[in-house]
Amino acid sequence: MIRKTKLHPIETAIFIAVILLLSIGTYSRNRLWNDEINLFTDCVKKSPNKARPYVNLGIAYLNAGTYDKSAETFQKAIQIDPKFGEAYYNLGLTYQKTGDINKAIAMEKKSVEVDPTLYMAYYSLGMIYFENARYEESEEAFQRFLKIYPYIPQVHGFLAIVYAAQKKFDKAVAEFEWEIRINPYDALVHLNLGKIYWYEFQNRQKAIYHLKAALMLDPFLPNRGEIRRLVRQLEGLP
């Protein structure tokens, strides 16, 4: 008989965090960033009274990890045009990178205040709240984002983790299933579904299906041996 063990939300969050690591390339872009900085520095010199070149330069500094300069440049853009939502939005991203969470949240909220169509700010707010375990606020932000962009990969997965952290496992499953419809080849989402279906709902058939899918899709799946043993147990094999 298989012993039931509760799925801890943090365990699931670790798997989702890995999704980002697997989807981001590890190649160097230093040369490209330097080219962008040089390009937009020249644009600022040619148009010193326009906010857009400062925002573009600030993004280049942000991508290069030069956060003090990116913050300074976005602030300059805001001085030129206090109604430029993208400047507040990117300044919020900069503060998020430096760990100034309160300022990051304030800037993202300000960005949609001055530009209600800047829906990416809701995604950023959702991530900031998510990373700081403010799950109810993260849930609200992700939901607002998904109303406009329901097919953006991985956002349903993050919302699923937010639900799981609040022990709303039925809603977590619904969001993971939606994520699978968007990207049926996401091994880690299948893994999360398999674990929740078994540990929370004792649904042997669906657990086996998703765990096997995860194993098939990713030969380098974390804890692969443990997952294979669980599948064999669920199938009643020695």
pTM value is: 0.83
Supply the DSSP symbol for 150. Answer: T
Tens of pLDDT, residues 173-202: 999 999 999 999 999 999 999 999 999 999
Domain 47-150: CATH superfamily is: Tetratricopeptide repeat domain (1.25.40.10)
40-49, 77-86, 113-122, 229-238: least confident range: 229-238
| 1-24+169-238 classified as CATH 1.25.40.10 | yes
Cβ of 18: how many Cβ atoms within 10 Å?
15
C-alpha closest to that of 83 among 116, 60, 105, 57:
116
**Cα–Cα distance measured from residue 115 to residue 231, given in angstroms and rounded to the nearest whole number:** 50
**Cβ–Cβ contacts within 10 Å for residue 212, how many?**
17
The ranges assigned to domains in the chain are 1-24+169-238, 47-150
Is residue 124 within 8 A of residue 91, CB to CB? The reply is: no
Q: Is the pLDDT reported for residue 151 higher than 70?
A: yes
Q: Does residue 119 have a pLDDT over 80?
A: yes
